Amino acid sequence: MTGQHPHARERAASTATTERALVIAMQYKREDVAGWLRRWGYPQLADEALRVLPDPVDVDQLEAWGMRHGLSLDEVISQMGGSP
């Protein structure tokens, strides 16, 4: 025995195995977003995106911007070939 309190090792092991969440925000080039909008038939939104969106733009910013312009995330996913 090393003289360590018996529960000290358990606490250390528990601390070492605690899961930590890593969140990585997806980011897109503003020009790519504008290109998608044009292909989907939204040329005016494409022009607006080029004027006002940051570069790069993260998915949360893009979703909020799209909602303000009547473009939902479900619609974007559908346009990209996915399902909501």
Q: Contact 65/37 with Cβ under 8 angstroms?
A: no
The verdict on pTM exceeding 0.85 is no
Residue 14: the pLDDT is 53
Residue 76: the pLDDT is 77
Q: Contact 26/80 with Cβ under 8 angstroms?
A: no
CA distances, 48 to each of 6, 15, 34, 81 (Å): 64, 49, 8, 24
Q: Could you tell me where the beta strands, DSSP code E, fall in the chain? A: 27-28, 57-58
Residue 24: the pLDDT is 76
CA distances, 18 to each of 12, 15, 21, 22, 24 (Å): 10, 5, 10, 13, 19
Backbone angles phi, psi at 27, to 5 degrees: -125, 145
Query: pLDDT tens digits, the chain, 84 residues: what are they?
Result: 555 555 555 555 555 556 777 777 789 999 999 999 999 999 999 999 999 999 999 989 999 999 999 998 788 778 877 765
